[in-house]
Chains A and B, each alone.
Chain A
Amino acid sequence: DQQVKQNSPSLSVQEGRISILNCDYTNSMFDYFLWYKKYPAEGPTFLISISSIKDKNEDGRFTVFLNKSAKHLSLHIVPSQPGDSAVYFCAASDNYNTDKLIFGTGTRLQVFP
């Protein structure tokens, strides 16, 4: 049972435009959500997170939106840069299994000039 889903395996965006990566979850107990970026042959890099008590968190070019009623979160990157090309994973945790991050399957973002 895939509790965290990223339905788009890939996304291609022109440099300077907005990239929107989506993530859906099924477990209503999740209360903390994270986005990670991964380059090939490297470990995931933490990007940004959001608690379920918020609906938006912003850090520079990255903004995460959370819609609890829809069990949906999204990562907006604006403006997109070629260096943003990577695989993006969303992840979630709950207050009972706090050490376990449940990862989505990832979305490969390609930013072209």
Chain B
Amino acid sequence: DTEVTQTPKHLVMGMTNKKSLKCEQHMGHRAMYWYKQKAKKPPELMFVYSYEKLSINESVPSRFSPECPNSSLLNLHLHALQPEDSALYLCASSHLTLSGRSYEQYFGPGTRLTVT
């Protein structure tokens, strides 16, 4: 099973709202990722969690706040977003080798976020 699930599938929020995106995997992967993808562009890395600890933050604005409650779950809390934050938000996970190397990342279907 190489499935990563994401909820909700679509989300429309105003600039003053607070919402959360959720991601779950049951492949035993210990690395989980958040990406942002705009139309006709490649996925853009936002955050990486390794062994439930934040290992990479790609200088993402603080209005995006990640959380990894356990090894299967990853959340992205959203607050005071701007219209330009509208995009497809993708979660991914990967296995980590004993040396901490990751190889293939498996992506979820994404959450289509629209900020009005």
Contact = CB atoms under 8 A, between A and B. Distances in A.
Contact of A43 (B40, B41, B45, B109): B109
A41 B42 CA distance: 13
Interface in B65-115: 88, 90-92, 100-110, 112
A89 B101 contact: no
A102 to B, nearest CB: 9
A40 B32 CA distance: 23
A17 interface: no
B91 to A, nearest CB: 8
B15 to A, nearest CB: 24
A105 B41 contact: yes
Interface residues of B, number: 30
Given A99-B55, A99-B102, A100-B45, A42 B109 contact: yes
Given A41-B112, A105-B41, A46 B106 contact: yes
B106 A98 contact: no
15 contacts: A41-B112, A43-B4, A43-B6, A43-B91, A43-B107, A44-B43, A46-B105, A46-B106, A95-B101, A98-B100, A99-B50, A99-B56, A100-B45, A103-B42, A106-B42
B104 A34 contact: yes
A101 interface: yes
Given A49-B104, A103-B43, A105-B41, A43 B110 contact: yes
Interface string A29-72: 00010101000011111100100000000000000000000000
